[in-house]
Amino acid sequence: KEQVQDAINRFHIVNHCTYKFKHSNTTRLLMECIHHDYSWRCRAILHTRQQHWEIMILEVPHTCISSLISQDHNKLGSQMISQTIREIIEANPSTPISTIIAHIKLTMGYTISYKKGWLAKQHAIENIFGNWEESYNKLPGMLQVMQMYVPGFIWKFNTQPTYQGGLLEEGDVIFKRLFWTFKPCIDGFAFCKPIVQVDGTFLYGKYKGTLLVAVAQDGRNNIIPIAFAIVEGETSDAWNLRRYVTPQDRLCLISDRHEAAYSRNGSGWTENNFVHVYCIRHIAQNFMRRFKNATLKKVFVNMAYAMTEPRFFYYYNIVRDTNVEAAQWLDNISREKWTKVYIPCSHVLASCLHAHHNYQIYISPIYTLQQVAKVYKGQFGELRHEDYWRTYIGSTMWLNLELKRTSKGRPKSNKIRTEMNIREQHNRVKNYSYYHTSSHTRKTCPNIGHGFSSRHH
């Protein structure tokens, strides 16, 4: 039935006409022209014995022209578009919606709406990679295969049991948290700077969550990811970072100011084996959110990166003279947590050379080219094609329905944006895209509702 409808829809899309259903059930389809004065009809039935559909009645060619002027077609649905863009999405799942709209315009001659393009992309992704539920069902088997083919691959699940009517469901578990890392990342971190930076980003899919990433730096300031986790929030309960990746002492951990996540019992992080400092960018965002002063925020950043105490207090006095409350706010944050005033700089090298001292005794071997090369010495194993995977035998993984987004469509970002993220907006008037005039929008357009389409008039 779907194939019959698809064929009829494609015919009408190509010929720029449309129809309506007069009758539709599991064994019969009856379609007719939307204009009462035009006698076009089409009838298709299902032959139950052969289990195939056949068009029994197809009257005169349907050549009527729609009275509505529109750039889109009401029979060009998101499912049909998803079939057209399948190869594009398979090659690049991150293809922007604007590219999909341009592709449909080029190949089919219609300009679809953003919503229809977005829905088509979601259908294409689901047809190629499976839906959200199927992906989570496959997750335990995929991790098991990666442990088989990728030497040193480490992963840890945290699940919760499922209940149906108050009774425990055997063989089913609900996904809660996941941690994973790779042996080359673990081995490479031993030759990196003793610095670990942790940050997270929200998952903007059908289900909520947070992706945590821990990164390190080699002697040439290159960023290296060393561990990953999917959790409800930035919590050490899901972080096996200390246990599997960073067992070394005297580490510097850079994160936001949520220090409690790394100071709980059993986390492995103690005041004797690491120093927790704060990300300057996070503090700058909080500063901007609190005081809404872009100029003072820039002064604060300069203060944080000052390499000498006189320079530090120069910027501090500017903040204090401008806003006493802002200076008090900064005083409540330990300066050892966010300033660089006590960190040695490259001037030490020049001083050593001037005094005829061997500067190498003051510099860690991590900064040598030989140590940097050791960071990338490990190799990742090759994951074989899915056809060679062993059949997974174990509990079935299900999503936590409490994390499902209730609103439809593309999720709205709840990020608090500052001038660090936004380009400066000049005082310019936004013009209506069709008439290029100010004080005129689609909602206030006087031509809508007078025989013109809202997308083209």
Q: What is the pLDDT of residues 32-59, one digit of tens each?
A: 887 776 777 788 888 877 778 777 777 6
Flag whether pLDDT at 428 surpasses 60: no
Structure confidence at residue 273 as a pLDDT band (50, 70, 90): confident
pLDDT at 41: 78
pLDDT at 452: 41
Query: What's the one-letter identity of residue 186?
Result: I
- Phi, psi dihedrals of residue 158, rounded to the nearest 5°: -135, 110
Strand order in the sheet with 28-33: 19-24, 28-33, 41-47, 52-58
pLDDT at 246: 85
350 or 15, which is more confident: 15
pLDDT at 65: 65
Mean pLDDT score of the chain, rounded to an integer?
79
pLDDT at 438: 54
pLDDT at 383: 86
pLDDT at 226: 93
Lowest mean pLDDT among 31-40, 151-160, 297-306: 31-40
The predicted model gives 305-331 an average pLDDT of 91
pLDDT at 374: 93
SS3 content of the chain, % helix, strand, coil (to 5): 35, 20, 45
The predicted model gives 86-97 an average pLDDT of 92
**CA R_g for the chain:** 31
Flag whether pLDDT at 431 surpasses 60: no
Q: Mind listing the pLDDT tens digit for each residue in 203-238?
A: 877 888 888 899 999 988 899 999 999 987 655 454
Flag whether pLDDT at 162 surpasses 50: yes
54 or 302, which is more confident: 302
**Cα dihedral 410, 232, 246, 332 in deg (nearest 10):** 100
Q: Mind listing the pLDDT tens digit for each residue in 68-86?
A: 556 778 788 888 899 899 9
**What are the distances in angstroms from CA 374 to CA 188, 245, 250, 390?**
7, 16, 21, 34
Report d(CA 208, CA 411) in Å as an integer: 10
Beta bridge partners of 399: none
The predicted model gives 376-388 an average pLDDT of 88
Structure confidence at residue 423 as a pLDDT band (50, 70, 90): very low
The residue whose two tokens read 């604007």 is 98
- Phi, psi dihedrals of residue 133, rounded to the nearest 5°: -65, -45
Q: Mind listing the pLDDT tens digit for each residue in 101-156?
A: 999 988 888 889 999 999 999 999 999 988 888 888 889 999 999 988 999 999 99
Report d(CA 357, CA 351) in Å as an integer: 8
Let me know if 197 is exposed, middle or buried by CB neighbors in 10 A (0-12, 13-18, 19+): middle
pLDDT at 238: 47
pLDDT at 437: 53
Lowest mean pLDDT among 53-57, 161-165, 381-385: 53-57
The residue whose two tokens read 């049909």 is 80
Flag whether pLDDT at 454 surpasses 50: no
